[in-house]
């Protein structure tokens, strides 16, 4: 008897599932709340809200299209080959659910099925920072203007001693106007605060702001060092909204506390020789840097311009074996990410940090308005650039720093390594070596 009841109820469930259409409230809102509304809500960068059915419904067909072709959520790395902490992509199951919901008529369902609307932070998501760096100038974002040149903005800094930070957050006051931004430090000021300039002048890339990005925290026992006297700057891509607004983009940090054994360092490659013919569909550059120390690779990122179309970073070990770091089969200039690896990639000294990058200068690249141009190196978006970076820690480094409120108070005995020694071949060395050899 018991068995029969169980079978009967199982049957009932199967039948009702097949007959019932998926609804916004029950099936779709949980996916949107998890994956879309950090950008798709009032006051954020995306053009419409996905918080409620009424504002979602008119977009149903284009939602089906963009989740199916995976243009939304914007995420360009191949997560089946490497896992990422900041992965924004939908699972196959989520995509299928959304497609099915739209195909079945994009019904609303019962309000009582709606999950709780997620909480958003209109203040600091990381909690009150220990120190807030304020920009030297605010930026007046003109209305309706989509082509605003990148803004170089320095922060008011007065870093009298080396400062070790355990986390940070970038917070614009006009979130809807900031498409993305890259943050660096440099030993001195220059006209440009791009990642390349920073690294070439002895500074480094700290991180990026993307809409919906969470505050950044370094792993236990590690910290980021902002050296004494450094200049912190940010390069911001603003997008105009209906009304002109004034943005004040802040950088908040949390001080490292307690034991710090490793500092985060940046390695990377740089290339400046391009000659991309008109209509060329696949222009490939391969470049690499040799690591002078064993490192744990924590993240990977790239900067190309409008014609960039794909890239792959691979570690080639001294024994010839390979470890994939990141594969980005569809690079998009508008969505440059720092891909944070779920599992650090550990490689020995002498490993080649190898980059293969591809450009598409033909009509099949939607970012190319004029495929008849010959493309060379330069700073403008119609020129090309290639620089790649990874944040790493040095394997076996044991700095033994006892840190209080971001400052070193004591160094433990038996410390190994120095937070400032050149443990990894730096970019300028690589650039010279590369340019002399070809
Ligand atoms: C990181 C921010 C971000 C996330 C996350 C995001 N979007 Fe978007 N979305 C945008 C922006 C910005 C635009 C405007 C077009 C552009 O800049 O690409 C947009 C545009 C769209 C469009 C209009 C496309 C068109 O062709 O007009 C749709 C539909 C859309 N998003 C759906 C979604 C859905 C569904 C999700 C979640 C599964 C999502 N988006 C997640 C930022 C985001």
SS (H, E, C) 239-271: CCCCCCEEECCEEEEEECCEEECEECEEEEEEE
Handedness of CA 169, 174, 177, 183 (dihedral sign): negative
Measure the N-to-C terminal CA separation of the chain; round to a whole number of Å. 82
Whole-angstrom CA distances from 166 to 35, 133, 143, 222, 285 are 27, 15, 37, 7, 36
Domain 131-256 has CATH 2.120.10.30: no
pTM for this prediction: 0.85
The residue contributing the CA closest to ligand 1 atom 23 is 62
pLDDT of residue 223: 97
Where exactly does CATH 2.60.120.230 map onto the chain?
131-256, 265-397+418-437
Q: Is the CB of 62 under 6 A from ligand 1?
A: yes
Per-residue pLDDT tens over the stretch 346-376: 999 999 999 999 999 999 999 898 999 999 9
Q: Is the CB of 401 under 6 A from ligand 1?
A: no
pLDDT of residue 146: 66
Task: Give the contacts of 410 (CB within 8 A, at least 6 positions apart).
Answer: 401, 402
Largest CA distance in the chain: 84
Per-residue pLDDT tens over the stretch 193-223: 877 778 778 888 899 888 777 789 999 999 9
Pocket probe for ligand 1: among 73, 87, 177, the residue whose CB has the most ligand atoms within 8 Å is 73
User: Rounded CA gap, 338 and 209, in Å?
Assistant: 10
* Span from the CA of 374 to the centroid of ligand 1 (angstroms): 32
SS3 content of the chain, % helix, strand, coil (to 5): 20, 35, 45
* Closest of 162, 163, 167, 164 to residue 218, by C-alpha: 167
> Which residues of the chain register pLDDT less than 50?
1-18, 423-424, 426-438
Q: Is the CB of 423 under 6 A from ligand 1?
A: no
pLDDT of residue 162: 96
* Span from the CA of 297 to the centroid of ligand 1 (angstroms): 30
* Span from the CA of 426 to the centroid of ligand 1 (angstroms): 37
The closest-lying atom of ligand 1 relative to the alpha carbon of residue 88 is 5
Topology of the domain covering 265-397+418-437: Jelly Rolls (2.60.120)
* Span from the CA of 129 to the centroid of ligand 1 (angstroms): 30
User: Rounded CA gap, 75 and 335, in Å?
Assistant: 8
User: Rounded CA gap, 384 and 401, in Å?
Assistant: 42
Q: Is the CB of 72 under 6 A from ligand 1?
A: yes
Q: Is the CB of 237 under 6 A from ligand 1?
A: no
Cβ atoms 309, 358 nearer than 8 A: yes
What tokens were used for 314? Answer: 């691979």
Cβ-based burial of 50 (10 A; exposed 0-12, middle 13-18, buried ≥19): buried
User: Rounded CA gap, 368 and 281, in Å?
Assistant: 11
The closest-lying atom of ligand 1 relative to the alpha carbon of residue 35 is 37
Q: Is the CB of 38 under 6 A from ligand 1?
A: yes
What tokens were used for 345? Answer: 């990639």
């Amino acid at each position: 008897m018991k068995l029969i009841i169980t079978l009967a109820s199982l049957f009932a469930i199967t039948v009702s599932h097949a007959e019932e259409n998926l609804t916004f409230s029950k099936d779709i809102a949980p996916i949107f709340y998890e994956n879309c509304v950090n950008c798709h809500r009032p006051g954020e960068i995306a053009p419409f809200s996905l918080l409620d059915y009424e504002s979602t419904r008119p977009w149903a067909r284009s939602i089906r299209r963009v989740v199916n072709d995976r243009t939304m959520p914007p995420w360009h790395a191949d997560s089946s080959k490497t896992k990422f902490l900041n992965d924004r992509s939908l699972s196959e199951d989520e995509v299928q659910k959304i497609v099915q919901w739209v195909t079945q008529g994009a019904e609303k369902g019962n309000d009582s099925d709606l999950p709780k609307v997620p909480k958003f932070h209109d203040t600091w998501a990381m909690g009150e920072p220990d120190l807030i760096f304020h920009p030297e100038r605010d930026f007046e974002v003109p209305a309706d203007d989509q082509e605003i040149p990148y803004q170089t903005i320095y922060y008011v800094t007065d870093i009298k001693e080396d400062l070790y930070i355990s986390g940070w957050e970038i917070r614009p006051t006009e979130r809807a106007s900031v498409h993305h931004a890259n943050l660096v430090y440099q030993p001195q000021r220059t006209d440009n605060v791009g990642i390349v300039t920073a690294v070439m002048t002895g500074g480094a890339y700290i991180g990026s702001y993307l809409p919906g990005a969470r505050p950044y925290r370094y792993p236990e026992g590690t910290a980021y060092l902002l050296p004494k006297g450094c200049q912190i700057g940010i390069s911001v891509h603003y997008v105009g909204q209906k009304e002109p607004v004034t943005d004040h983009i802040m950088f908040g940090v949390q001080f490292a506390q307690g034991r710090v054994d490793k500092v985060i360092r940046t390695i990377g490659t740089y290339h400046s020789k391009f000659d991309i013919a008109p209509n060329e569909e696949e222009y490939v550059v391969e470049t690499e840097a040799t690591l002078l120390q064993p490192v744990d690779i924590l993240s990977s990122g790239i900067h190309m311009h409008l014609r960039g179309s794909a890239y792959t970073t691979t570690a080639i070990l001294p024994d010839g074996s390979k470890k994939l770091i990141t594969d980005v089969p569809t690079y998009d200039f508008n969505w440059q990410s720092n891909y944070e690896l779920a599992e650090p990639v550990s490689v020995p000294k002498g490993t080649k940090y190898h980059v293969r990058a591809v450009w598409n200068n033909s009509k099949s690249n939607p970012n190319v308005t004029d495929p008849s141009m010959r493309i060379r190196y330069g700073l403008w978006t119609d020129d090309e650039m290639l620089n790649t970076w990874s944040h790493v820690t040095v394997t076996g480094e044991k700095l033994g720093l006892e840190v209080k409120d971001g400052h070193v108070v004591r160094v433990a005995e038996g410390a190994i390594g120095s937070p400032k020694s050149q443990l990894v071949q730096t970019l300028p060395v690589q650039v010279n070596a590369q340019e002399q050899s070809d």
